[in-house]
Structure 1
Amino acid sequence: MPHSTTTESTITVHPVTPPSGSTYNFGAELRGADLENLAESDKDIIIRALYENQVILFKNQQNLSPRGQYEVTRLFDPLAQGYGHGKTLDAKRSILHPDLKTIPTQSEVQVIGNGPVASFEGLKDIKLKHPHHKTFHQDVISDDEDRENTRFYRWHIDAALYDLDPPKATTLLAVKVPKTENMNLRYDDGSGDELKVPRGSTAFVSSYTMYDILSEEDKQFARTTKVQYAPHPYIWMSPAKSRSTGLGLHTSDLELPASSLPLIETSKIKTLPMCWRNPVTGKLALQIHPSAVQKLILADGTVIDDLKEVREIVYRLQRPGIAPSLVWPVDWEEGDFVVFNNRGVLHTVTGSFLEDEVRIFRQCNMAASDGVLGPEDDA
């Protein structure tokens, strides 16, 4: 447990300045933090900074221990336990299974990345694989264009979305980062939208902005509609394929039927508000995991359960929020430690790496100890 004192904090908050052409309004770098030895005043600043900026960055954290990462992650929810993705982590059919490996000495912390790693944090001879859009998208970039071009892999929230409540925060530590040329990220949806991103960038968008730019009619719809997620969603969706924007799935009747899923307990199916309230600012986020949605429940109790219609509605609401100018593609450097508000942003990996290019990150999130705040809840 990090040592706590009552001294005045030395941490300062520096909002990110978007580059020319970008208009995203979130993100901050925090300087002056000793993450292994946080004072109570430090903790207060970090918590407020997260909920006011949604993504916070600490530079030069190469020496942060897995235990320290775990403790920072649970600042935002001291009663949180276990994995953010729950038991789906070990389900062989889950789309998450190939991407995560657990650190033996700190089971809440995972290792992700790419390439062969002989030894890392107690793990031996592991093979990491960076997710590639070819494994998930319905149509793909051709082999001869693949090294220079990429896609958003899958816009998502870190959450089991069955039984467990969505984590409040996720932390990512960049341990080893191969630095190469930028890539051209293509939306390939007929819009002509493109974006230059560092290879392997994690892209973020603000779900508060995603809500703010809706029409008044759509805001009313979003505030009064609930989303029912599929049971065991990462197994359910495993045969399905993504749109080229990474924002939700095509509907081709490929999802697994209930009879092919693990035992379903009706009480564990998650029905959540379409809008989640920020506990500090009170702002509303249009916070939906587009790939996992199954039904919409309207204000008058009407249930929309036609999957294609459900996905079209969600896509129409969310697509403006991933416009190129609203995306922050983080340009990772070794030692970067990022915390993001998992209840206020969507994120996705991008890029591709050669099989032997080694990239190592540590990730931590934990299922929350309480549910999300909806539009009618007080901040």
Structure 2
Amino acid sequence: MTTTATMTATATAPAYTYTPIPPSPQADAAAFTDFGREVHGFDAASVSQAQYDEIIESLYKYQVLLFRNTTITPAQQYALTHAFDPAATSYGHGNNKTGKDTKSILHPDLKTIPHQPEVQLIGNGKVPGVYEGLDSPQLKHPHHRTFHKHPISEAEELASNATRFYRWHIDAALYKLSPPRVTSLLAVKVPQGPWQTVRYDDGSGDEVEVPKGSTVFASGKTMFDLLPAPLKSLAVRTTVNYAPHPYVWMSKAHALPTGLGIEDEGLELSLDELPEFDEAQVKHLPMCWKNPVTGALHLQVHPCAAKSLTIAPLPEGASRDGALYPDGGEVGDLKEVRELLTRVQRPGISPKYLFAADWREGDLVLFHNRGVIHSVTGAFRPDELRMFHQCNLAASSDPVGPDGADVAKYA
């Protein structure tokens, strides 16, 4: 967490210069005045503590930082990511854990760099030769046809260059380990191609044009700010209860066409089908996470992994007019859980509120993993080589939710 001393130092003597990242073509520019900055003057080989502190504070203010034409080693990428949480010790899903758990839906997507196990190699295609200690790794770009119940056909995809959001999510194990504060992504190899049309296919008619293979971000702050008063009240009173081993729990389920949650088919694994788990390690996290620098509330939920909701009653003296669940309660029916999450999250992924990264080789992006949700998009041919280094670290503590003043203001 940024300290007062850090804030004073960065306010008086900034080490870097910042320029706004232009919003995506279909975005509402007014929604992005304080979102996204390109950072100039960064040298990964020489970063002082004061410079780390400045980057940390800037990320919490702007949610996404872009460093162009970056040369950075896995060790340096780890050091930059680690600066956000010096007490963090392992990759966000546990070092070398994702590759070993073959039942997890994350298993095919991540290759651990042996000499820096907190950094993963992700992408598409077969990497020639030995790369960072990995022998010709085969990478697999997540494709919505492997996860969505009603995917776009291959013929239609080719004919119209249409695609989907694969899965909206937060980078987090959501069992035992706390959600990382930040994720860093380094673009090593980026195949070029025509832009693709992401279709929502939820009856809204919404679609958005994105660069091929774009990572798309939605602000949790915007998601909260868009809500009408009754849903803001619900959000500040709600705890999201995640499934044990959620990526195994959902492994047989299918996603909605928006990628924002799971179809209600009853395909989740029962608790006795899951790997052994400790109930004390199951995650119960607030629906809204408080920004440590701005104090803003960010609506942060992994909609595919949520199993139930716990809603606190309205505080004494609060108006009950139009309130949802005024007496609080438990929402355990998955269909109802998912309908509620769609109500609070879907407005925030509308096309005009999205930032779609237009990747170039050498781009390093830091994003506030406790302030935005994101999704992979697009499709690549098997022979298209795409390589990224990803790093995030299981945090040393869980996110902080709304405080008493927030509840009094919104509930």
TM bucket by the smaller chain? over 0.9
* Aligned-CA RMSD value: 1.6
Query: Which is further off, 239-248 or 43-52?
Result: 43-52
Query: Which is further off, 349-358 or 300-309?
Result: 300-309
Residue in structure 1 matched with residue 285 of structure 2 by the alignment: 272
**Any conservation in 1 of the 2:24–2:354 contact (CA below 8 Å)?**
no
Q: Structure 1 residues 343, 221: CA separation in 2 closer, same or farther (over 3 Å shift)?
A: same
Residue in structure 1 matched with residue 168 of structure 2 by the alignment: 155
Residue in structure 2 matched with residue 17 of structure 1 by the alignment: 22
| Cα distance in 1 for residues equivalent to 2:192 and 2:150 | 28
| Cα distance in 2 for residues equivalent to 1:85 and 1:377 | 32
Question: Shift in Å at residue 20 of structure 1?
Answer: 4.8
**Any conservation in 1 of the 2:215–2:376 contact (CA below 8 Å)?**
yes
| Cα distance in 1 for residues equivalent to 2:220 and 2:362 | 27
Residue in structure 1 matched with residue 223 of structure 2 by the alignment: 210
Paired residue secondary structure (2:276): coil
Residues 1:132 and 2:137 aligned together: no
Normalised TM-score (structure 2): 0.88
Deviations 1:80-122 (A, max 9, x none): 1112023455211000000000111101000000001123111
| Cα distance in 2 for residues equivalent to 1:220 and 1:298 | 10
Residue in structure 1 matched with residue 351 of structure 2 by the alignment: 324
**Any conservation in 2 of the 1:15–1:53 contact (CA below 8 Å)?**
no
Deviations 1:118-162 (A, max 9, x none): 231111111101000000000011111213111000000000101
Question: Shift in Å at residue 202 of structure 1?
Answer: 0.3
2:306 partner amino acid = V
1:342-361 → structure 2 map (5 Å cutoff): 342-361=369-388
Query: Which is further off, 159-168 or 119-128?
Result: 119-128
Residue in structure 1 matched with residue 155 of structure 2 by the alignment: 144
1:1-379 → structure 2 map (5 Å cutoff): 9-23=14-28, 24-25=31-32, 26-61=35-70, 63-86=71-94, 87-118=97-128, 119-147=130-158, 148-300=161-313, 302-376=329-403
**Any conservation in 1 of the 2:253–2:267 contact (CA below 8 Å)?**
yes
**Any conservation in 1 of the 2:24–2:355 contact (CA below 8 Å)?**
no
| Cα distance in 1 for residues equivalent to 2:360 and 2:98 | 30
Paired residue secondary structure (2:191): coil
Normalised TM-score (structure 1): 0.96
Question: Shift in Å at residue 53 of structure 1?
Answer: 0.6
| Cα distance in 1 for residues equivalent to 2:74 and 2:103 | 28
Q: Structure 1 residues 65, 286: CA separation in 2 closer, same or farther (over 3 Å shift)?
A: same
Paired residue secondary structure (2:118): strand
Question: Shift in Å at residue 378 of structure 1?
Answer: 9.1
| Cα distance in 2 for residues equivalent to 1:145 and 1:126 | 30
Q: Structure 1 residues 165, 19: CA separation in 2 closer, same or farther (over 3 Å shift)?
A: closer
| Cα distance in 2 for residues equivalent to 1:110 and 1:355 | 20
The percent of aligned pairs where both chains have the same amino acid is: 53
| Cα distance in 1 for residues equivalent to 2:44 and 2:180 | 20
Query: Which is further off, 84-93 or 359-368?
Result: 84-93
Q: Structure 1 residues 89, 313: CA separation in 2 closer, same or farther (over 3 Å shift)?
A: farther
Query: Which is further off, 237-246 or 9-18?
Result: 9-18
| Cα distance in 2 for residues equivalent to 1:241 and 1:203 | 20
Paired residue secondary structure (1:267): helix
1:355 partner amino acid = P
Deviations 1:164-205 (A, max 9, x none): 110000000000000111111111111110111111000001
| Cα distance in 2 for residues equivalent to 1:40 and 1:298 | 41
Question: Shift in Å at residue 16 of structure 1?
Answer: 1.8
1:123 partner amino acid = L
Q: Structure 1 residues 13, 113: CA separation in 2 closer, same or farther (over 3 Å shift)?
A: same
| Cα distance in 1 for residues equivalent to 2:393 and 2:260 | 24
| Cα distance in 2 for residues equivalent to 1:370 and 1:342 | 14
Aligned length: 373
| Cα distance in 2 for residues equivalent to 1:143 and 1:213 | 35
Deviations 1:348-367 (A, max 9, x none): 11000001110000000110
| Cα distance in 2 for residues equivalent to 1:8 and 1:236 | 49
| Cα distance in 2 for residues equivalent to 1:8 and 1:323 | 38
Paired residue secondary structure (1:259): helix
- List 4+ stretches of structure 1 deviating above 2 A: 6-10, 86-90
Question: Shift in Å at residue 17 of structure 1?
Answer: 2.6
| Cα distance in 1 for residues equivalent to 2:405 and 2:234 | 19
Q: Structure 1 residues 243, 54: CA separation in 2 closer, same or farther (over 3 Å shift)?
A: same
